[in-house]
Amino acid sequence: MIFIHRGTGRLRTFLGTIPFEYGDYLIIPRGMIYQIEFDNEDNRLLFLESYSPLYTPKRYRNHFGQLLEHSPFCERDLKLPQDLETYDEKGDFIIKIKKEGMLHDVVYATHPFDVVGWDGYNFPYGFSIHNFEPITGRVHQPPPVHQTFETNSFVVCSFCPRLYDYHPQAVPAPYNHSNIDSDEVLYYVDGDFMSRNNIEQGHITLHPKGIPHGPAPGAMERSIGQTVTQELAVMIDTFRPLQITEEAAGIDDGKYYKSWVE
């Protein structure tokens, strides 16, 4: 899965092309030969990989696999492959294949985009986060209402502009909590994330399971009386503990864990 935070272009696959823009999720099944073309160099992407397929949440699907009416999005919102490109060419075409955490070069003797037609349900598609219709309530809704995709090992949620809780005594800021089953990663895309202070576009936070977290100092009081939020963020909740890489440790500001201190 690739989330387009900034940039435009085309996802080219051997099943067709999907134009993309700011806010698009691109779902690319394993084994799908693809190439990304950007319109310019000003791009920012959130990239996720999964050993198991990414599905829409099962509670939003009927037994035929169709999205139900109470789902926050539906099939007509999907961007499907179009303009099938077929090349009948011979030569040396390098394909990069990832296996066991390593990228390997494989040389094809014919152009990989040589498909003349296809059928089936295993194909890439796009979905704009701007087409996600948030589920709201009189009191604070739990994070699963934001769920957009799921796998065997993690879920992806979309925090979008929406009405705040509209009970007369509601406190819109989320309550303090600790995740028992998930490590929580938040990727901040746009807007003012109401529960945090000093968060900017492209920031990433990690809340490991079992460690309490919640609104930053002043955020709860600041939210009282507010009626709407314009925040935009992508959340990934994993079902197994995340391991921090050296690259991730290198961009840690070393101060986030102190953000709950007045």
Q: What is the pTM of this model?
A: 0.94
The CATH code for residues 135-258 is 2.60.120.10
Question: Which residues contact residue 241 at a Cβ distance below 8 angstroms, ignoring those fewer than 6 apart?
Answer: 183, 208, 209
Please, are residues 146 and 225 in contact by the beta-carbon 8 Å criterion? no
Please, are residues 79 and 125 in contact by the beta-carbon 8 Å criterion? yes
- How many Å separate Cα 260 from the centre of its chain? 26
Give the angle subtended at the CA of 145 by the CAs of 156 and 216, to the nearest 5°. 80
Of 35, 33, 131, nearest to 78 by C-alpha is 131
Please, are residues 145 and 134 in contact by the beta-carbon 8 Å criterion? yes
Give the pLDDT of the chain (262 residues) as one tens digit per residue. Answer: 999 999 999 999 999 999 999 999 999 999 999 999 999 999 999 999 999 999 999 999 999 999 999 999 999 999 999 999 999 999 999 999 998 889 999 999 999 999 999 998 899 999 999 999 999 999 989 889 999 999 999 999 999 999 999 999 999 888 888 888 899 999 999 988 878 888 889 999 999 999 989 888 888 888 899 899 999 999 999 999 999 999 999 999 888 888 888 6
100/78 Cα distance (integer angstroms): 31
Please, are residues 115 and 85 in contact by the beta-carbon 8 Å criterion? no
Domain boundaries, the chain: 2-128, 135-258
DSSP letters spanning 130-172: GG------SSPPPGGGGEEEE-SSEEEEEE-SEEPP-STT---
Of 207, 177, 238, 176, nearest to 48 by C-alpha is 238
Type of residue found at 228? V
Instruction: Check the CA dihedral 215-159-34-12 and report its sign.
Output: negative
